[in-house]
């Protein structure tokens, strides 16, 4: 790497500390392995900009897991912002790792974290700047192994032609098994085909090259054919059984620039028992596994000590559901009160009874409060199995207002299955009641002025949810419903409206339920200039339109089609453990407007025959 040249570039680009590394607690290793061989060089790449990637808990765990190994050095890389990509190209420089400034093309393995579909073109930016061919079949023996993990792997097909292998589920254990095989293969110096064969025998590892897809006469996905008789029929999601024994983030790298989640994030449990029917995370992280309070405290101590952060977030999909939440919050607040550490609870449900906890949190620092009723009427909330009521919401906001908050965010979705105009207008009604709740309080009891943000995103059907067969509503209809809601919210005191641009939601829907043909669409879109698509202001619509057209496909056939519950699904070879029969039952219940109980109150059988084995001991009734 030409350091002088790089430094002159860094002076020109926005936020140069995205690209410099050298942060506190960054791992530094001697590049020769203890047995005299060479370390396996692993580039862990989050395909979005630094401040987003550094906020992702999962990659920070994997960074620690890999670097705890003596035979592996894991370094980080992120997608460059537009200015940096231009400068690297103009100056003929490759994308490089933050730890040692090594060009990415020189690594043994490049592993991508796939957190959302709209980051896929950034994978190509990174590969392109690393000089690595996009399609796995075009890569030579000496090219790095290209792999991916993360929640999007539950439908890996849109990136199937790009990835050599994908890892499905919790990464803590399987990545060690993966590296055991990799380092052993590297020592013996075999062909890549042998490596892939050995990797495909690890539970949870998917090698897409062993399969080929067929399509039906209507141009829809037909089936996946095995090209190798030894390849597994289905890929079972990996689950870490014991979160107390599992490795966590260890010594957190402390960024210089401010990142999106700039605090210690401690995962208090994984999984969610609620079963909201639109929520992919609610299904693909099952079963619920809690961390003991003592482990949480120990890890909090270690994380605060080595970082100097003054805020921790008790992280999970629904933090109010943690069994010991009412003990944990005061315990942590008391423990760090003198150090002025504040606590935040993301993903609070509005039916969690947290009044006292909120008051205590407020004592240290005011953090934002977000509530997610998701839908405007009780009928629709029953359809999606949200299981919260208007009373829950009004009680929660009342408690928050009493505790001194005057800013709340209300999060909704537009376009949920069975939604009518009445449901859309119900959102405005709910916002009106929240506003009334605030202004009906005596002035001396409430904050100065209400700031209630109503945010409405567009529903995206996702694999492994009961709504995976549902179409997304057409763009024109999204826009009409957004306008309807905007109009209805006008004039409500203290309420403002923000809604997500619908083009990206549409593409997200296409890629979420996409098949293998989208790999080529992705590559075309990249070649037409699509980059950083999740940044609405940079969304390149013409590039995507051209890409779909060139490949004889349409966004609509993926995003807006109702898939029959008996039709083949492009992701059905992925075994998320939650079984299809259960999802079908939930789909029917949605249309019957019947809710399903929280499975902490009794098993609903989502794992089918495997419920007793994989979820044992977690389903006892707790009141």
CA–CA distance, 358 with 65 (Å, rounded to integer): 34
Shortest distance in whole angstroms from residue 339 CB to other proteins? 7
Q: What is the token pair recorded at 193?
A: 């085909």
Measured from the CB atom, the residue of 90 and 609 that comes closer to other proteins is 90
Taking the complex as a whole, how short is the minimal distance between the CB of residue 366 and other proteins, in angstroms? 6
| Pair 412, 350: CB distance under 8 Å | no
Yes or no: say if 163 and 146 are a contact pair by the CB < 8 Å rule.
yes
Question: Is the Cβ of residue 340 or residue 616 nearer to other proteins in the bound state?
Answer: 340
Beta-bridge partners for 110: 43, 146
- Closest separation between CB of residue 319 and other proteins, Å? 22
Closest CB to other proteins among residues 28, 225: 28
Cis before 287 (ω within 30):
yes
Euclidean distance between CA atoms 577 and 571, whole angstroms: 13
Provide the 10 A C-beta neighbour count for residue 431: 25
Q: How far is the CB of 74 from other proteins (least distance, A)?
A: 19
**Considering beta carbons, is residue 306 or 614 the nearer one to other proteins?**
306
Which residues lie near other proteins (CB under 8 A)? 4, 7-8, 10-11, 16-17, 19-24, 254, 256-258, 305-310, 339-340, 365-366
Instruction: Show the CA angle centred on residue 202, arms to residues 200 and 204, nearest 5°.
Output: 90
| Minimum distance from residue 264 beta carbon to other proteins (Å) | 11
* CB of 311 vs other proteins, minimal distance in Å: 11
For other proteins, the closer CB: 306 or 479: 306
For the CB of residue 17, give the shortest distance to other proteins in the complex, in Å. Answer: 5
Q: Which two tokens stand for residue 168?
A: 């499905």
Question: Smallest distance, Å, CB 90 to other proteins?
Answer: 15
Which DSSP helix (H) or strand (E) runs through 67? helix 57-67
CA distances from 489 to 411, 457, 479, 494, 498 (A): 14, 16, 15, 10, 11
Of the pair 310, 545, the CB lying nearest other proteins is at 310
- Please provide the DSSP assignment of 233-273 as one string: SSEEPB--S-TTTS----S--B-SS--TT-SEEEE-EES-S
Beta bridge partners of 111: 44, 147
Cβ closest to other proteins, residue 309 vs residue 511 = 309
Terminal C-alpha separation, the chain: 61
For residues 308 and 564, which CB has a smaller minimum distance to other proteins in the complex? Answer: 308
């Amino acid at each position: 790497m030409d350091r002088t040249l790089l430094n002159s570039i860094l002076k020109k680009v926005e936020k140069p500390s995205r690209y410099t590394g050298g942060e506190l607690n960054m791992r530094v290793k001697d590049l020769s392995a203890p047995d005299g061989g060479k370390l396996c060089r692993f580039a862990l790449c989050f395909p979005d900009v630094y401040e987003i990637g550094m906020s992702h808990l999962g990659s920070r765990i994997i960074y620690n897991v890999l670097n705890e190994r003596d035979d592996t050095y894991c370094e980080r890389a992120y997608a460059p912002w537009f200015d940096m990509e231009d400068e690297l190209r103009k100056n003929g420089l490759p994308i490089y790792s933050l730890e040692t400034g090594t060009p990415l093309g020189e690594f043994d393995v490049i592993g991508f974290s796939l957190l959302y579909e709209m980051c896929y073109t950034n994978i190509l930016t990174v590969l392109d700047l690393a000089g690595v061919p996009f399609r796995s079949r075009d890569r030579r023996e000496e090219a790095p192994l290209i792999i991916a993990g993360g929640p999007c792997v539950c439908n890996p097909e849109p990136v199937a032609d790009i990835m050599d292998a994908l890892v499905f589920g919790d990464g803590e254990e399987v990545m060690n098994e993966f590296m055991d095989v990799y380092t052993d293969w590297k020592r013996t110096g075999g062909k890549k085909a042998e490596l892939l064969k050995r990797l495909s025998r690890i539970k949870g590892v998917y090698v897409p090259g062993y399969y080929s897809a067929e399509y039906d006469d209507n141009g829809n996905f037909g089936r996946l054919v095995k090209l190798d008789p030894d390849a597994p029929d289905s890929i079972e999601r990996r689950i870490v059984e014991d979160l107390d024994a599992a490795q966590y983030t260890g010594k957190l790298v402390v960024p210089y620039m401010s990142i999106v989640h700039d605090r210690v994030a401690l995962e208090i449990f994984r999984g969610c028992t609620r079963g909201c029917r639109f929520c992919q995370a609610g299904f693909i992280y099952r079963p619920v596994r809690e961390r003991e309070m003592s482990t949480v405290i120990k890890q909090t101590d270690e994380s605060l000590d080595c970082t100097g952060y003054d805020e921790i977030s008790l992280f999970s999909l629904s933090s109010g559901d943690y069994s010991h939440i009412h003990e944990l919050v005061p315990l942590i607040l008391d423990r760090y009160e003198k150090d002025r550490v504040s606590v935040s609870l993301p993903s609070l449900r509005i039916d969690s009874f947290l009044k006292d906890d909120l008051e205590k949190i407020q004592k240290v620092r005011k953090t934002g409060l977000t509530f997610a009723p998701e839908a405007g009427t009780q009928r629709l909330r029953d359809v999606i199995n949200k299981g919260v009521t208007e009373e829950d919401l009004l009680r929660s906001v009342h408690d928050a207002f009493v505790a001194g908050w005057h800013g709340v965010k209300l999060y909704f979705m537009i376009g949920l299955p069975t939604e009518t105009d009445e449901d859309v207008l119900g959102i405005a009604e709910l916002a009106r009641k929240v506003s009334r709740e605030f202004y009906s309080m005596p002035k001396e009891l409430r904050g100065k002025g209400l700031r209630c943000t109503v945010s409405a995103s567009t529903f995206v059907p996702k694999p492994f949810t009961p709504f995976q067969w549902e179409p997304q509503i057409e763009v024109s209809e999204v826009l009409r419903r957004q306008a309807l809601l905007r109009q209805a919210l006008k004039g409500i005191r203290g309420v403002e409206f923000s809604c997500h641009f619908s083009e990206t939601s549409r593409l997200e829907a296409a890629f979420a339920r996409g098949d293998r043909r989208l790999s080529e669409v992705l590559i075309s879109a990249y070649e037409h200039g699509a980059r950083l698509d999740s940044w609405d202001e940079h969304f390149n619509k013409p590039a995507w339109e051209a890409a779909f057209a060139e490949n004889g496909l349409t966004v609509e056939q993926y995003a807006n089609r109702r898939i029959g519950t008996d039709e083949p699904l492009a992701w059905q070879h992925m075994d998320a453990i939650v079984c299809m029969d259960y999802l079908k039952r939930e789909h029917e219940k949605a249309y019957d407007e019947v809710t399903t109980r929280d499975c902490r109150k009794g098993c609903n059988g989502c794992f089918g025959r495997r419920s007793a084995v994989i979820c044992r001991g977690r389903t006892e009734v707790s009141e």
